């Protein structure tokens, strides 16, 4: 069994790497995939449809390390691979406990850490801490080419594998011409979090929508409870825009894809971001990406010129970039852009991106 440990799993994580990283890798290795998590009102059917089993652990102490430790003691499951997400204190402590568990119980499983590509992942003291804690992990996957290349020069180089996020699209989507696409902007975010910086969206939206009356903005993703009032105040203040900035919440994947097919622009305002799956979706469906200058974006743009960027938290530059995208009609009729969609989808398919990891796991097992 491949066991992904993600205690704070929520529905918003379903169409992302939390499920599909382990799901794809485990299938290629001939294993069952399961996720260990607290029961946070998760729609488990989504996991079953993907071929992933969900294992709920009891919230006895409410602290991931202790509850995971108890689960391993009382559970009959003995995975071959344990998969931890992101470099943080909790993942390091769980990995340390699992190493002890293996020694005391004559068990043996590989522990994999998925390192995020956020801008502050390995800065300052975190770099020293990362090298110190790396002894608890058998394999470390890294999303960003820049971070990967820097770690390759270190003493843990033999443990690392470059694994960017993959794309859920199984085949090349239908990319429509500019004459067919709607004048719409898509946003996928968690509204109200500091990281996503969605307050910037609400500062610039009235400027853009009032200047371009035939455009709309479509907002997908969770709205934080403490931000709902801010949205209501925004809509009351900008009553004329109610029908042109639409909130879908946590919508089904099919609804999101339908809007991607018919839209022209994907907008991201994050202060930092890993190798965002939303970027991959936007690129595969033929949208121009207008984004703040976050990690991994330049890596995506390096191979596929697909949009405009602006400095983080700079409203003026965002407006310049967004207007450039709005007025770039030629972009959507470019044959070259359509032709390399197949290459892009192939390059970032989950089967393709996890292949080096699967090979390394197989070699480790000998």
List alpha helices for 136-266, DSSP H.
145-151, 198-211, 228-237, 253-262
pLDDT of residue 12: 66
pTM above 0.85, yes or no: no
- DSSP assignment of 53-88 equals EEEE---SSS-HHHHHHHHHHH-----SEEEEESSS
Distance, CA of 187 to CA of 223 (rounded, Å): 12
From the list 244, 262, 259, 269, the residue with the least C-alpha distance to 319 is 269
The DSSP bridge pattern shows strands 2-5 and 81-85 to be parallel
* Residue 366 confidence (pLDDT): 55
Residue 81 pLDDT: 95
Instruction: Output Rg (C-alpha) for the chain, integer angstroms.
Output: 21
- Residue 46 CB partners (closer than 8 Å, separation 6+): 11, 14, 19
Largest CA distance in the chain: 68
pLDDT tens, the chain, 366 aa long: 999 998 877 666 666 788 889 999 999 999 999 999 888 776 666 556 668 888 989 899 988 999 999 999 999 888 999 999 888 888 999 999 999 988 887 778 899 999 875 545 566 667 778 888 889 999 999 988 888 888 888 888 899 999 988 887 655 666 666 667 899 999 999 999 999 999 999 999 999 999 999 999 999 998 998 999 999 999 999 999 999 999 998 888 889 989 998 999 999 999 988 787 888 888 888 888 999 988 767 777 665 567 899 999 999 999 999 999 998 876 555 566 666 667 777 788 899 999 999 999 988 765
Model pLDDT, residue 119: 45
**Hey, what domains does the chain have and what are their CATH numbers?**
2-166+349-365 (3.40.50.2000), 184-347 (3.40.50.2000)
**Which contacts (CB < 8 Å, 24+ apart) does range 306-310 have?**
306/282, 306/337, 307/266
Tokens (6 digits) for 227: 């931000």
């Amino acid at each position: 069994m491949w066991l992904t440990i993600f205690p704070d799993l929520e529905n918003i994580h379903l169409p992302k790497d939390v499920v599909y990283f382990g799901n794809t890798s485990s299938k290629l290795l001939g294993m069952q995939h399961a996720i260990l998590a607290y029961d946070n009102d998760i729609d488990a059917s989504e996991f079953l449809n993907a071929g992933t089993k969900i294992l709920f652990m009891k919230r006895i102490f409410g602290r991931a390390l202790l509850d995971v430790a108890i689960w391993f003691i009382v559970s009959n499951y003995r995975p071959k691979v344990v998969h931890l997400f992101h470099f943080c204190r909790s993942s390091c402590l769980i990995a340390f406990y699992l190493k002890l568990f293996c020694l005391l119980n004559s068990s043996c499983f590989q522990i994999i850490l998925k390192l995020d590509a956020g801008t502050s992942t390995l800065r300052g003291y975190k770099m020293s801490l990362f090298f110190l804690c790396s002894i608890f992990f058998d394999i470390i996957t890294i999303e960003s080419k820049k971070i990967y290349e820097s770690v390759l020069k270190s003493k843990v180089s033999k443990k690392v594998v470059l694994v960017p996020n993959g794309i859920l699209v199984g085949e090349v989507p239908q990319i429509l011409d500019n004459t067919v696409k709607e004048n719409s902007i898509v946003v996928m975010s968690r509204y109200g979090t500091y990281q996503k910086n969605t307050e910037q969206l609400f500062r610039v939206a009235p400027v853009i929508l009032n200047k371009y009356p035939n455009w709309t903005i479509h907002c997908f993703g969770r709205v934080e409870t403490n931000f709902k009032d801010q949205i209501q105040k925004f809509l009351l203040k900008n009553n004329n825009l109610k029908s042109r900035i639409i909130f879908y919440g946590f919508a089904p994947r099919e609804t999101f894809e339908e809007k991607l097919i018919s839209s022209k622009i994907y907008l991201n305002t994050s202060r930092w971001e890993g190798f965002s799956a939303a970027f991959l979706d936007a690129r595969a469906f033929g949208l121009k990406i207008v984004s703040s200058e976050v990690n991994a974006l330049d890596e995506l743009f390096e191979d596929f010129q697909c949009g405009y960027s602006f400095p983080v938290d700079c409203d003026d530059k965002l407006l310049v970039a967004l207007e450039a995208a709005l007025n770039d009609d030629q972009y959507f009729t470019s044959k070259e852009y359509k032709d390399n969609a197949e290459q892009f989808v192939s390059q970032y398919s989950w089967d393709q991106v996890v292949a080096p990891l699967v090979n390394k796991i197989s070699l480790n097992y000998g």
